[in-house]
């Protein structure tokens, strides 16, 4: 292993490999958003989706707009709070989510296949630590 390698570059390369391994009509981000809507429940708002996925607000707004445009979700203003827009899976969105779930499992197997079985738990824990760690806190404070 090169000691002069930058962690951000290795993470970028890993991200590119993960995107390539995810063979679906949806992007990995679209998949995560559809999955969150399904898991949390129809009628979820953007703030809850941001909090549950870790996707930033502007990206989430773009993803929701694109998912609505291609018919994967329907969006409507909340009757309780007209400032809030709720998202609902369509039948097309549910079907796409099923196919993408299989793609996600295949991608997961490919990615984790590069890591020895005995190191996978630590690898995933470290990725989660990086995702939730000081870098994110600094960015959100800015």
Residue among 107, 95, 122 at smallest CA distance from 18: 107
Q: Coil, strand, or helix at residue 25?
A: coil
Q: CATH says 23-115 is which class?
A: mainly alpha
pLDDT digits (tens, 9 = 90+) for 88-125: 999 999 999 999 999 999 999 999 999 999 999 999 99
Domain residues of the chain, as ranges? 23-115
- Cα 21 from chain centre: 15
Phi first, then psi: what are they for 44, rounded to 5°?
-70, 145
pLDDT at 92: 97
The mean pLDDT value for 78-86 works out to 87
- Find residue 44's DSSP bridge partners: 87
> What confidence category does residue 9 fall into, taking pLDDT thresholds of 50, 70 and 90?
confident
The mean pLDDT value for 64-81 works out to 94
pLDDT digits (tens, 9 = 90+) for 11-60: 888 888 888 888 889 999 999 999 999 999 999 999 999 999 989 999 99
Distance between CA atoms of residues 85 and 48, nearest Å = 11
Q: Coil, strand, or helix at residue 93?
A: helix
Q: HEC string of 77-94?
A: ECCCCCCCEEEEECHHHH
Residue 42 DSSP label = T
pLDDT at 137: 52
Q: Which residues, 6+ apart, have CB-to-CB distance to 90 below 8 Å?
A: 71, 72, 73, 74
Contact criterion met (CB below 8 Å) for 117 and 35: no
Reply yes or no on whether the pLDDT at 2 is more than 70: no
Residue 23 DSSP label = -
pLDDT at 101: 94
């Amino acid at each position: 292993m090169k000691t002069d390698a930058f962690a951000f570059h290795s993470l970028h390369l890993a991200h590119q490999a993960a995107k390539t391994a995810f063979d679906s009509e949806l992007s990995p981000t679209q998949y995560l958003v559809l999955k969150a809507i399904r898991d949390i429940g129809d009628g979820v708002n953007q703030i809850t989706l941001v909090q549950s996925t870790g996707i930033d607000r502007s990206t989430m707004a773009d993803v929701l707009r694109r998912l609505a445009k291609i018919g994967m979700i329907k969006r409507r203003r909340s009757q309780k709070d007209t400032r809030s827009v709720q998202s609902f899976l369509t039948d097309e969105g549910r079907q796409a989510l099923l196919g993408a779930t299989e793609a996600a499992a295949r991608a997961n197997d490919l990615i984790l296949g590069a890591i020895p079985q005995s190191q996978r738990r630590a690898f995933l824990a470290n990725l989660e630590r990086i995702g939730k760690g000081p870098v994110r806190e600094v960015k959100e404070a800015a």
